[in-house]
Amino acid sequence: MKIPFELWIGARYAGLTRTRGRGRKGDRFVSFIAGTSMVGIALGVAALIIVLSVMNGFQVDVRDRMLSVLPHIQLVVPNEDPVAVTDNWQKLADQAKENPEVQGASAFVAAGGMLARGDVLKGVEIRGIDPKNEGNVSELPQQMIRGSLQTLEPGSFKLVIGINLAQYMGVNVGDTLLLMTPQGSINPSGFSPRMRQFTVSGIFSSGHYEYDSNMAFVSVKDAAVLFRDVGSAGVRLKIRDMISAPEVATQLTNSLPPGVVARDWTMDNRTWFAAVKTEKRMMFLILVLIVAVAAFNLLSSLVMAVKDKQSDIAILRTLGVSPFQIGKIFLVQGSLIGFIGTFLGVLFGCLVAYNIDVVIPFIERLFGIHFLDPSIYFVSTLPSHPEVNDIGLIGITSLVLSLLATIYPSWRASRLQPAEVLRHD
pLDDT in tens, 48-99: 999 888 888 887 877 777 777 778 888 888 777 888 888 888 888 888 888 8
* 214 or 194, greater pLDDT: 214
Query: CA angle, 328 as apex, 323 and 329 as ends, to 5°?
Result: 100
Model confidence at 410, pLDDT cuts 50, 70, 90, reads confident
How far apart are the C-alpha atoms of 392 and 45, rounded to whole Å? 11
In the predicted model, is pLDDT for residue 400 greater than 70?
Answer: yes
Query: CA angle, 190 as apex, 188 and 194 as ends, to 5°?
Result: 110
Model confidence at 165, pLDDT cuts 50, 70, 90, reads very high
pLDDT of residue 280: 79
How far apart are the C-alpha atoms of 115 and 198, rounded to whole Å? 9
> Average pLDDT in the 155-179 region?
91
Model confidence at 19, pLDDT cuts 50, 70, 90, reads very low
Model confidence at 357, pLDDT cuts 50, 70, 90, reads confident
Q: What is the chain's mean pLDDT, rounded?
A: 82
Q: Which has the minimum average pLDDT: 104-108, 138-142, 293-297, 318-322?
A: 318-322
Side chain identity at 207, as an amino acid letter?
A: G
Q: Which of 222, 223, 204 is nearest to 214 (CA)?
A: 204
The pairing of strands 73-76 and 232-239 is antiparallel
Classified as helix, coil or strand, 259 is coil
* 110 or 279, greater pLDDT: 110
Model confidence at 192, pLDDT cuts 50, 70, 90, reads low
In the predicted model, is pLDDT for residue 346 greater than 90?
Answer: yes
Most confident of 115-119, 181-185, 193-197, 342-346: 342-346
Q: Which of 288, 344, 261, 257 is nearest to 73 (CA)?
A: 261
> Average pLDDT in the 143-159 region?
89
Measured CA distances, 406 to 10, 213, 294, 337, 394 (Å):
12, 56, 12, 10, 19
Q: Which has the minimum average pLDDT: 66-80, 194-208, 364-378, 403-417?
A: 364-378
Q: Which of 49, 48, 41 is nearest to 354 (CA)?
A: 49
Contact 194, 226 (CB under 8 A): yes
How far apart are the C-alpha atoms of 353 and 387, rounded to whole Å? 10
In the predicted model, is pLDDT for residue 301 greater than 90?
Answer: no
Sign of CA dihedral 51, 52, 53, 54: positive
Contact 310, 416 (CB under 8 A): yes
Most confident of 58-67, 163-172, 290-299, 322-331: 163-172
Q: Which of 126, 45, 101, 124 is nearest to 249 (CA)?
A: 101
CB neighbours of 130 closer than 8 A, spacing ≥ 6?
A: 106, 107, 108, 219, 220
pLDDT of residue 177: 92
pLDDT of residue 20: 46
Measured CA distances, 209 to 123, 171, 276, 350 (Å):
15, 18, 18, 29
How far apart are the C-alpha atoms of 68 and 265, rounded to whole Å? 11
DSSP 300: H
> Average pLDDT in the 285-291 region?
83
- Give Cα 348 to chain centroid, integer Å: 20
In the predicted model, is pLDDT for residue 161 greater than 70?
Answer: yes
- Give Cα 334 to chain centroid, integer Å: 34
Contact 224, 181 (CB under 8 A): no
- Give Cα 264 to chain centroid, integer Å: 20
DSSP 4: P
> Average pLDDT in the 243-262 region?
86
Most confident of 111-120, 266-275, 369-378: 111-120
* 128 or 6, greater pLDDT: 128
pLDDT 10s digits, 205-249: 887 788 888 899 999 988 888 887 777 888 999 988 888 888 888
In the predicted model, is pLDDT for residue 424 greater than 70?
Answer: no
**How many residues can be counted in the chain?**
425
How far apart are the C-alpha atoms of 92 and 202, rounded to whole Å? 29
In the predicted model, is pLDDT for residue 21 greater than 80?
Answer: no
Classified as helix, coil or strand, 354 is coil
Measured CA distances, 50 to 44, 343, 360, 393 (Å):
10, 15, 12, 14
- Give Cα 207 to chain centroid, integer Å: 16
> Average pLDDT in the 283-302 region?
83
pLDDT of residue 77: 84
In the predicted model, is pLDDT for residue 46 greater than 70?
Answer: yes
In the predicted model, is pLDDT for residue 378 greater than 70?
Answer: no
Report the share of the chain in percent with pLDDT over 70.
86
How far apart are the C-alpha atoms of 222 and 209, rounded to whole Å? 26
Model confidence at 187, pLDDT cuts 50, 70, 90, reads low
How far apart are the C-alpha atoms of 379 and 372, rounded to whole Å? 7
Side chain identity at 136, as an amino acid letter?
A: N
Q: Which of 374, 409, 423 is nearest to 163 (CA)?
A: 374
E-strand ranges in 118-231 read 120-129, 144-147, 158-162, 176-187, 190-204, 215-219
One DSSP character per residue, 162-184 reads: EHHHHHHHT--TT-EEEEEEEEE
